[in-house]
């Protein structure tokens, strides 16, 4: 029997055709009411909002073999499942697609000087607002910090433009740098050389406070810093200091720490900061991609084929 904690229009029928599907959607709120009827459950299809697994869940589902998670980060549920040798599949890589697309749009607008010109225009009310060097999309240098799922997808999107891409990632091999046509550089070089820096550092304890004033203060005239990774990787006071000293700089922040920033944070009032409420992930009809991913993986798993998106302990250790 298969348990489903998510319904996706136009995908329910496919799951029902492939499985013996439990008749109701199970959530953290109604789990206890159904617990006595879940002993035969072998697989779960789930998405955001799935409760953390505890002994009461495993006791109610002693035959559970696999969880197919149609969402992004699995860190809240992964260790409990992996420790019990339950297969976990996540659409982490697929959820990276819209984040990379959003970053691409921000990079292209930054290269045209869109954000700086717009804020200067609101003050000057004249064409002088755009009278600063604007490179456009030809031969400029873009810096990516981290080449995980999002960073790699973003690099591939950028490959259709005549841009130079430099990367800082301690795990980047020489061969992978060649395959992706990127130059491996130090973290300092990323900020010194790039007109746009996009952060994709994994969200690990070891990366907390990685980006400091020495990095932001070294940015090129008119440069943009994009953060769709995690707020903890930025020393916020250092970023604010650099932005106050350098009105030519722009920060586009889809993540902060905390989220949202405190009411008295200067990030709300600095004219060269744009904050969005963590909108980079999958939205709207894009969820269908996540559903298709895990259903495809279920078919592979049930046929005994290797999985493309299984989350193992080693994979979990690298996840942001």
- Select, from the ranges 21-35, 64-78, 158-172, the one with the highest average predicted confidence (pLDDT): 158-172
Q: What is the pLDDT of residue 317?
A: 80
Task: Tell whether 86 and 19 lie within a shared domain.
Answer: yes
Q: What is the pLDDT of residue 9?
A: 56
Task: Tell whether 90 and 103 lie within a shared domain.
Answer: no
Q: Give the span between the Cα atoms of 94 and 292, in whole angstroms.
A: 10
Is the pLDDT at 13 greater than 80? The verdict is no
DSSP E strand stretches across 223-295? 224-227, 250-253, 273-275
Domain membership of residue 108 as a residue range: 96-275
Q: What's 231's domain CATH number? A: 3.40.50.720
Q: What is the DSSP letter of 310?
A: B
Is the pLDDT at 26 greater than 80? The verdict is yes
Task: Tell whether 158 and 209 lie within a shared domain.
Answer: yes
Task: Tell whether 172 and 266 lie within a shared domain.
Answer: yes
Task: Tell whether 119 and 160 lie within a shared domain.
Answer: yes
Residue 48 contacts residue 287 (beta carbons within 8 Å):
no
Residue 166 contacts residue 186 (beta carbons within 8 Å):
no
Residue 226, beta-bridge partner list: 198, 252
Q: Give the span between the Cα atoms of 218 and 192, in whole angstroms.
A: 6
63-108 pLDDT, tens per residue?
999 999 999 888 889 999 999 999 999 999 999 999 999 999 999 9
What burial class does residue 69 get, using C-beta atoms within 10 Å of its C-beta: 0-12 exposed, 13-18 middle, 19+ buried?
A: buried
At residue 204, φ and ψ (nearest 5 deg) are -125, 160
Q: What is the pLDDT of residue 10?
A: 56
Residue 228 contacts residue 198 (beta carbons within 8 Å):
yes
Task: Tell whether 243 and 298 lie within a shared domain.
Answer: no
Task: Tell whether 103 and 202 lie within a shared domain.
Answer: yes
Q: What is the pLDDT of residue 111?
A: 98
Number of helices followed by number of strands (H, E) in the chain:
13, 12
Q: What is the pLDDT of residue 320?
A: 57
Q: What is the pLDDT of residue 69?
A: 95
Task: Tell whether 144 and 46 lie within a shared domain.
Answer: no
Question: What's the mean pLDDT when you consider all of the chain?
Answer: 94
283-295 pLDDT, tens per residue?
998 999 999 999 9
Q: What is the pLDDT of residue 68?
A: 96
Degrees to nearest 5, angle at CA 240 with 123 and 227:
95
Task: Tell whether 84 and 100 lie within a shared domain.
Answer: no
Task: Tell whether 82 and 154 lie within a shared domain.
Answer: no
Q: Give the span between the Cα atoms of 89 and 309, in whole angstroms.
A: 6
Cis status, amide bond into 198, omega within 30 of 0:
no
176-220 pLDDT, tens per residue?
999 999 999 999 999 999 999 999 998 888 899 999 999 999 999
Number of structural domains in the chain: 2
pTM (whole model) above 0.75: yes
Instruction: Identify the CA nearest to 202 among candidates 166, 148, 165.
Output: 148
Q: What is the pLDDT of residue 14?
A: 84
Q: Which residues contact 233 (CB under 8 A, 6 or more apart)?
A: 199, 201, 203, 207, 208, 209, 210, 211, 227
Q: Give the span between the Cα atoms of 320 and 315, in whole angstroms.
A: 10
Is the pLDDT at 163 greater than 80? The verdict is yes
Task: Tell whether 197 and 236 lie within a shared domain.
Answer: yes
Q: What is the pLDDT of residue 6?
A: 55
Task: Tell whether 44 and 176 lie within a shared domain.
Answer: no
Instruction: Identify the CA nearest to 79 among candidates 320, 291, 314.
Output: 314
Is the pLDDT at 239 greater than 60? The verdict is yes
């Amino acid at each position: 029997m298969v348990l489903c904690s998510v319904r996706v229009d136009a995908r329910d029928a496919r799951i029902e055709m492939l499985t013996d599907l439990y008749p109701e959607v199970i959530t953290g709120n109604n789990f206890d009411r159904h617990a006595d009827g879940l002993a035969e459950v072998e697989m779960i299809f789930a998405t955001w909002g799935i409760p953390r697994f505890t002994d009461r869940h495993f006791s109610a589902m002693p035959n559970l073999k696999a969880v197919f998670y149609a969402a992004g980060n699995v860190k809240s549920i992964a260790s409990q499942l992996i420790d019990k040798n339950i297969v976990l599949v996540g659409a982490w890589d697929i959820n990276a697609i819209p984040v990379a697309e959003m970053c691409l749009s921000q990079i292209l607008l930054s290269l045209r000087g869109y954000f700086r010109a717009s804020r200067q225009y609101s003050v000057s009310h004249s064409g002088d607002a755009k009278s600063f060097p604007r490179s456009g999309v030809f031969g400029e240098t873009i810096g990516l910090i981290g080449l995980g799922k999002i960073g790699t997808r973003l690099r591939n999107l950028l490959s259709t433009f005549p841009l130079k891409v430099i990367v800082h990632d301690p795990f980047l091999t020489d061969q992978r740098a060649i395959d992706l046509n990127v130059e491996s550089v130090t973290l300092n070089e990323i900020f010194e050389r790039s007109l746009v820096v996009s952060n994709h550092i994994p969200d690990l304890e070891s990366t907390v406070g990685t980006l400091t004033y020495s990095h932001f203060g070294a940015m090129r005239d008119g440069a943009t810093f994009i953060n769709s990774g995690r707020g903890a990787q930025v020393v916020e006071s250092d970023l604010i200091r650099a932005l106050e000293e350098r009105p030519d700089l722009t920060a586009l922040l889809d993540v902060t720490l905390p989220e949202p920033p405190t009411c008295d944070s200067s990030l709300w009032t600095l004219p060269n900061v744009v904050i969005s409420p963590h909108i980079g992930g999958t939205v709207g009809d894009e969820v269908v991609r996540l559903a298709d991913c895990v259903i495809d993986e279920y078919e592979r798993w049930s046929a005994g084929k290797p999985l493309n998106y299984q989350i193992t302990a080693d994979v979990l250790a690298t996840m942001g």
